[in-house]
Structures are given as C-alpha cells and as structure tokens.
Structure 1
C-alpha cells in the first residue's frame, strides 16, 4: 500500500494541491517533484581570517559546477537591522534539484573537501532543509 503524506508537504511556489491528490501519491513520486532547500546559519571563530572565510565562500559558490543537481548556492552576510540573528553572521542557501541530488551532495568528495576547510573556522552552525515545489510546477496523474 502506498504511504500517505501530509498535504502540507506539497504547499509551495504559490500552488496548493488537493488532499485527494496527495493521498494518491507515493513518497517516491513526491521526491521526484520536490526540490530541497538547504540553509546554513553560520558563525565563524574569532580567529578566522577574512582570507580563510573567503576561501570557504568560494568553495561553496563553486559546488554547482561539480555536483550534479545542485542548482544554486547563495552566500550572504547578515545585515538585518532587527538584531535578531542570535549571533549568526553568515548564511548559505543551496537548492537541490531533488532528493537524489541532496543524496549525491552529502558524500561527494567536493563536499568533503569543503568541510575540511570549513570546520576549523566554524564557531557554530544551524542546518535546516525543507522541500519546495519547483517554480511553475504542476502535478498530474503522471506523477503517481
């Protein structure tokens, strides 16, 4: 029997799908249509140099060139006037084409090389992943 998925998992990109459609879809069908957003909130150690942080930034930004299915990487430095960043100063937002792309990324040698230069500079990190529908997506009976 197909596994039933909560309907909230398919809300996104300005679209909403009926509970009836969601109940007919298997998890594998849903994984084929959902993109994954991967967010890192970062603080660096006080002794991390500007040059070393720049090396980490460049390594992140070049990941899509080397790992299939990593669609985009953004790097940002906090500039919110709200003072609610809880001490986090930098962020990375990655977009994976689908679950398979995320699974390729995690053990990939480029990801391991990135961690090797990143971890010694890392003060603290929060990692959050969530699924989203691709822009302009639609779900049809072919998806399940």
Structure 2
C-alpha cells in the first residue's frame, strides 16, 4: 500500500512539474501589420520601423522581436506591407507592454501614417 501511495505521489508530482514547465515554455505572439498610403515618404516609414525596433530595448517584457516587409507573390496582403512580431511569456506581460510609457510614445510616432493596421495575438502551437 505504501508503495502504491508513493508511486501515486511521484506521478502527480511529475505531472505538476511538467505542466508548470509547459506553461513556462508557452509563447504569446503579438503580430502587428502596417500598410501605408501611396506616396508615403520612405523616411516616415523608416522612422516607424526604427521606433518599433527600439521598443525591444526599452521594454524588458518583450522576449523576442522581428520584422520584415511583405514579399508574397500571392497578392493577398490587402495593402499591408510591414509585419512586426513580438513575443511575450504571458497575456499579462503583453497587457503591461500595451500600457507601457515607451509603447505609448511609439504609438504617438505613428501619427499620421500608416493607412492600415492589423493586430493579431496568438499562443504558439506546434
């Protein structure tokens, strides 16, 4: 009986540890896509790209950052050209990022461009 109880305890402990480790490994992606009005000055776009990239160094809650320009031949981007992907460990980290003073200052840089904005957040699944 003691062996059965010990085995049960070990299995429950192992499950709890694995569940906690899996939760810690979860990643939340915050995807932001911009499209610009025709004729938007390249310097204005570069200013936004640079300001977005600087957030990674100002907000420690951002675990990873990457960006790129659409080059899909499918022509399904609906005018969205620039994609930015930020990674967070939790929804609370993402939420704190959204109200962080550095993020608010970045949002102020966006005015008056871009023409289109789309944001999608998702938990990474493999």
* TM-score band w.r.t. shorter chain: 0.7 to 0.9
1:38 — aligned with what? Answer: 30
1:81 — aligned with what? Answer: 73
**Structure-2 separation of matches of 1:41 and 1:91:** 4
**Structure-1 separation of matches of 2:120 and 2:111:** 17
TM superposition shift of 1:33:
4.8
Name the Cα RMSD after superposition.
2.3
Aligned residues: 107
Contact 1:68 1:101 in 2 (8 A): no
Residue 111 of structure 2 corresponds to residue 123 of structure 1: no
Residue 85 of structure 2 corresponds to residue 60 of structure 1: no
SS across alignment from 2:57: helix
TM superposition shift of 1:47:
4.3
Q: TM-score, normalised by structure 2?
A: 0.73
Q: Which string of whole-angstrom CA distances, capped at 9 and with x for unpartnered residues, describes residues 109-144 of structure 1?
A: 1111111111410101111000126x9xxxxxxxxx
SS across alignment from 1:95: strand
Following TM superposition, the consecutive aligned residue runs of length 4 or more in structure 1 with deviations greater than 3 angstroms are none
Contact 2:32 2:85 in 1 (8 A): yes
TM superposition shift of 1:38:
0.7
Contact 2:66 2:85 in 1 (8 A): yes
SS across alignment from 2:104: helix
2:98 — aligned with what? Answer: 106
**Structure-1 separation of matches of 2:64 and 2:40:** 26
Q: TM-score, normalised by structure 1?
A: 0.65
Q: Structure 1 or 2: larger helix share? A: 2
1:6-17 matched pairs, under 5 angstroms: none
